[in-house]
Structure formats: C-alpha cells, structure tokens
Amino acid sequence: MSDSVAIENDVQERFDQVMAQVRGRLTKRQYQTWFERASLVRWGENSLVVGLPNRFYQVWFQSKFSEMVREAAEQVARAPTSVSFEIVDGMAPAEPDPDDAVDEVEAVAPAPSHRPVEPPPATRDLYPAPFSGSGTEDLPLRLNELYTFDNFIIGPSNSVAHASARAVAQNPGRAYNPLFIHGSVGLGKTHLLHAVCHEFLRRFPDDRVCFLSCEEFTNEFVRSLQRNDVDSFRARFRNVHLLVIDDIHFLKGKERTQEEFFHTFNGLYQSNRQIVLSSDAAPNEIPTLEDRLVSRFTWGLVSQLEQPEMETRMAIVRRKAELMHIEVPNDVVEFIASNFRNNIRELEGALLSTKAYADVLGAPISLKIASEALKQSLQPTGMGVTLDKITQLVCERYQVKVSELRSKRRGRSISEPRQVIMFLARKLTKLSLQEIGDHFGGRDHSTVLYAVRQIENRYGTDPAFAATLERMADRLGGNLREDA
Ligand code: ADP
Ligand code: MG
C-alpha cells in the first residue's frame, strides 16, 4: 500500500468515527434521513469538508448539524477543526428503506424550483447552541446555555426529577447523593444535567465542576490505560466538587471501567462531593452492572422522567419556538404536540422541519405547511388531523354546537356526535384515550374507550354509517381503513 493510500484510509476512518459519534446523538431515523448521504470530501489541516447531495441538505446541515459535526470532528482529531459542506454532484440517491421509509428531505423539499434557498436564519440560535462554563483544566466544561432550569418546562411527568435536580444544585452533597435520573431517550436527562451544572456554578462560581458522558469517561480511562498513566486519570476527579456523568448505562459490559468508576465514586462520595448520574434505565435494570454499583446508585435518590402529557408537550413546543424566535400559531402547536408524543427531541425536530419548510416556501408557518412538512413522519395516521378540526367537522355535520358537546348533556343528539369525535380522534391522531377525554372536560379513559367501541361496532355493521365516517375522515385528510 502506498503512503498516500494509507493516509486516505486513515482519513476515511476518522470520518467514519465522526459519523459514529453523530449517530450516537441522533435518533436512528434522523441519522438515516440526513447523514446516510453525507460523504467525506477532504479533511486537511484542521478543516473538514463534508459532501452532501443538494442545496437543501446544505442549508439544513449549516443551520442544524454543523456544530455537532464540528464537535465530533474535534474530538476525533483532538484539534480545533472547521467544518464546511459542499454539494457533491452525481451522488446516487439513497435507496429508500421500506421499513422506515422516511425521506424527510423529499417530503420537505418542494418540487425543484429555481428559487434560491435561504438558510433558515432563526434556527441558528438553537443549533448550534452556545456553550459556556468553567471546568477543570484538562476537562473544560462545555455546557449548552439553553439547557437551564428556566428553559425546562415542568409537568407531572418530570416534576420530581426537576425538583430533585434543583435540590442537589442548591444543596450539593446534602440533599441527595447521588442523584440518579433515568428515563427513555429524548425526555430531558441531558437537559436537566446541564441545568444542575449551570445552577451549581451560579451559586458556587469558584467550585470545580466536571461534566462528561459516560462514553467520554470510558474513553479517557482506556486512553490512560494505554498510556500507562491511570494515576493522572484518577487525579483529575479527585478535586471536583460536582461530578455529573451522562448516560451511565454505557458502563454495561465494561468491567474495568466499572471498577474504576466505583473508586471514583467512593472517593467523591466520602468527601461529600455531589454526584449526578443519568441513565436510560433504573439502576437495577442496567444489564451486567455490578451489584455494588447498583446499590451505590440507589443510596441517594432515583427519579424517573416519564413521557410528558399533552399540555406539557404543548408548553415545550411553545418554549422552543420562543427560543428559536419562530412564530407558531396555536393550531400548529397542538398539531405537533399531539403527533409527537414519545420523545421531546422529536417535537423539536418537527418544529424545525416545519420552520425549514416554511422558509423554503417563503411562507409563514400554518397548519397546512406543518402537515406537509411532517407528512412522512406521521404516516399512516395523523396527517394534519387535530381534535379541533375533528370537532368542527363533526359539529357541522350533526348541526350541534361545540359548547353543547362539552356539556354533561346526554341525549342521543349530543352523545352520538361526541362518540364520533372520540372515535375519529382515536383513529386519526395519536392522542391517548385520556387526552381525548380531557378534551371533553375531563372524562376518563374508560368513557372514551366505551365510545370508541360503540362507534367501531356500528362502523362494522352499518354500511351507510361507515360511509359517512369515511367521508369525514377523508375530508380531514385521514383514512379509517386498516390497510391505510
Ligand atoms: P435525553 O438526554 O433524555 O435523551 P435531552 O435532554 O437531550 O434528552 O432532551 C431532548 C430535547 O428535549 C432537548 O432539546 C431538551 O431541551 C428538550 N427537553 C426535554 N425535556 C424538556 C422540558 N421539560 N422542557 C423543555 N425542553 C425539554
Ligand atoms: Mg442525553
């Protein structure tokens, strides 16, 4: 192998490492949509050029991913690196994946037009997010300035985790030690951990804070083993006042790192230094985690982040829009919040896609734009359908007033349209039974379930009624048939 080939392979390998890091930070779907078509153009002295298939990708990458790629590149290169994006001609379009046929680009990009595409300006304020903070000398602290307690919306799903995070930031080493926050992906673990660091530093500006991902902890440890210098690795942690490690479940299966972490933990704990950890699972549910670590993780407080309810999701969409300086009408807030339920990062992604689509079209954000922009991610149900739209249509059809439906009246003239709305909402949106019940002044989920079953039965046995329902679904832009 000639030298130049060897160097090229080396660069490609580094680029692959960068992509691997990026993959770790995105959902599978986001990664597939955006990064599967990214390629290495060149990586010279401190500058990386990434190839992309078209202008639309370029705009997105500049506004949304450049900071992330730069960070990853700097970690891999261990040197300051600038990142730019070039359109690469003749790049084969990626094969659509039949299982997860999400090509948001095609969904979002309008048919080819020659209108110049301006980068979405407002999104830059959030992506890349600014970083700040002071750490220890060899572990500079990089905190996202937007991940503060102020920017964290509190609801029943997260209030305990939020309150405990606040408590440890205000009373480090005394409130709960360690604080262990767990929850599935995109529910705000990293956000809360950053918020703890911000608040702690605000109160104790001279103290030393160390924040790192468990992956970084592991990598640093492995490096110190290779350099035969575990002592200086340990010394780094000895003097910190607050140690925050994100995604501690990454320790699974890594025996030596677990062992090392055990000692780090004990050292800090004994000197009353605060430790905060996050994980995708409760301590006893992390496979192959040593028992002694499991038990230590539960010494303080274990609190869970759960999936946020509708109101919390709406409030989050509003706050994110505010932070991004995006004007979003209420029906779009409701639309996004009702269709992206499990992961707050997806809520944000939906907002950004909507914004980008509106920018490309040069139009203000509207429900129509949002449903177009998000069409692909919403199939097969929920294409632009909101409870309000369903309610309006059904009221029109049955000639009743919305206020009558929400009342406790029972007569058939009211109960049938009410049940039809519940049925359509169940079929055409991703709202839960409870959320649908809330819409009708707090009926519980069993009432809604009963209503849905009633209508389902008639749908199956009364063809004229079924046709009416299908026409309504159609007008809403949805489809009731199973194969839809
Ligand atoms: P995790 O680490 O649990 O995967 P993150 O902390 O990265 O999740 O959160 C994903 C996104 O959702 C972030 O942009 C974060 O700001 C946002 N987020 C999560 N929970 C909230 C909340 N309660 N209020 C505002 N934003 C939130
Ligand atoms: Mg995280």
Q: What is the mean pLDDT of residues 165-189?
A: 95
pLDDT, position 88 = 80
Q: What's the pTM value of the predicted model, to 2 decimals?
A: 0.61
What is residue 309's predicted lDDT score, i.e. its pLDDT? 92
| Minimum mean pLDDT range among 49-58, 385-394, 421-430, 437-446 | 49-58
Return the closest-CA partner of residue 271 out of 239, 297, 246, 298. 239
Q: Which residue's CA is minimally distant from atom 23 of ligand 1?
A: 153
Fold assignment, 387-476? Chromosomal Replication Initiator Protein Dnaa; Chain: A; (1.10.1750)
Atom of ligand 1 nearest to the CA of 162: 23
22-36 b/e (C-beta count within 10 Å ≥ 16 → b):
bbeebeebbbbbbbe
| pLDDT, average across residues 416-430 | 91
Take atom 4 of ligand 1 and give the residue whose Cα is closest: 186
pLDDT of 132 higher than 50: no
Closest ligand 1 atom to Cα of 247: 2
pLDDT range class, residue 90, cuts 50, 70, 90: low
Q: 191 CA to middle of ligand 1, Å? A: 5
Distance CA 441, CA 437 (A): 7
> In the chain, what percentage of residues exceed pLDDT 70?
85
pLDDT reported for residue 419? 94
The tokens 């992956």 sit on which residue?
Answer: 215
Length of the chain in residues, anyone? 484
Interval 70-97 mean pLDDT: 75
pLDDT in tens, 189-213: 999 999 999 999 999 999 999 999 9
Percent of the chain at pLDDT > 90 equals 51
Judge residue 471's burial from the number of C-beta atoms within 10 Å of its C-beta, 0-12 exposed, 13-18 middle, 19 or more buried: exposed
Q: Would you say 146 and 198 are in contact if contact means Cβ atoms under 8 Å apart?
A: no
Q: Which pLDDT does position 225 carry in this prediction? A: 93
Ligand number, closest to the Cα atom of 308 = 1
Residue 65 pLDDT class (50, 70, 90 cuts): confident
Of the candidates 271, 216, 262, the one whose C-alpha atom is nearest the C-alpha of residue 238 is 271
Q: Is the dihedral of CA 341, 366, 472, 448 positive or negative?
A: positive
Query: What pLDDT is attached to residue 421?
Result: 95
**CA atoms of 233 and 436, how far apart (whole Å):** 54
Architecture of the domain delimited by 3-108: 2-Layer Sandwich (3.30)
For residue 323, give the ligand nearest its CA. 1
Which two three-digit tokens encode residue 413? 């003239």
Q: Which comes out higher in pLDDT, residue 454 or 95?
A: 454
Say what the pLDDT of residue 95 is: 37
Is the pLDDT confidence value at 129 over 80? no
The predicted model gives 306-317 an average pLDDT of 95
pLDDT score for 98: 34
Residue 103 is inside which H or E element, if any?
none
CATH 3.40.50.300 fits 143-304, yes or no: yes
Q: Which of 344, 347, 348 is the best mutation target for the ligand 1 pocket, counting ligand atoms within 8 Å of the beta carbon and taking the most?
A: 344
Q: How far apart are CA 357 and CA 369, in angstroms?
A: 7
| 186 close to ligand 1 (CB < 6 Angstrom) | yes
Q: What is the largest CA-CA distance in the chain?
A: 85
Band (138; pLDDT cuts 50, 70, 90)? low
- Rounded to an integer, the average pLDDT of 40-64 is 82
Torsion sign across C-alpha atoms 65, 354, 190, 256: negative
Q: Quick: pLDDT tens for 331-389.
A: 999 999 998 888 899 899 899 999 988 988 889 999 999 988 887 777 555 456 888 88
pLDDT tens column, 254-311: 999 999 999 999 999 999 999 999 999 999 999 889 999 999 999 999 999 999 999 9
Residues 311-315: contacts with CB under 8 Å, at least 24 apart: 311/155, 312/153, 312/154, 312/155, 312/156, 312/157, 312/158, 313/337, 313/338, 313/340, 313/341, 313/344, 313/347, 315/153, 315/155
Q: Which atom of ligand 1 is nearest to the CA of 187?
A: 3
User: Domain extents for the chain?
Assistant: 3-108, 143-304, 387-476
The pLDDT assigned to 33 comes to 74
Higher model confidence: residue 175 or residue 272? Answer: 272
* Same fold: 3-108 with 387-476: no
Q: Answer whether residue 4 shows pLDDT above 90.
A: no
Q: What is the pLDDT of residue 477?
A: 76
**Helix/strand/coil percentages in the chain, nearest 5:** 55, 10, 35
- Say what the pLDDT of residue 122 is: 29
Residue 40 backbone zone (phi > 0: left; psi -120 to 50: alpha; other: beta): beta
Mean pLDDT of the chain: 83
Determine the 3-state secondary structure of 49 from DSSP.
strand
pLDDT at 85 over 80: yes
Where does the pLDDT of residue 25 fall: very low under 50, low under 70, confident under 90, or very high at 90 and above? confident
Distance between CA atoms of 250 and 193, rounded to whole angstroms? 16
**CA 68 – ligand 1 centroid, Å:** 16
Between 112 and 432, name the one with better pLDDT.
432
Nearest listed ligand to the Cα of residue 307: 1
The strand pair at 131-132 and 143-144 is best described as antiparallel
Reported as type and span, the H/E element at residue 382 is none
CA distance 426 to 456: 11
Query: Of 96-105, 151-160, 224-233, where does mean pLDDT reach its minimum?
Result: 96-105
Query: Cβ atoms within 10 A of the Cβ of 481, count?
Result: 9
State in Å: Cα 192 to ligand 1 middle.
8
State whether the beta carbon of 189 lies less than 6 angstroms from ligand 1: yes
380 φ/ψ angles, rounded to the nearest 5 degrees: -90, -10
Q: Which of 275-279, 358-362, 467-471, 477-481 has the highest mean pLDDT?
A: 275-279
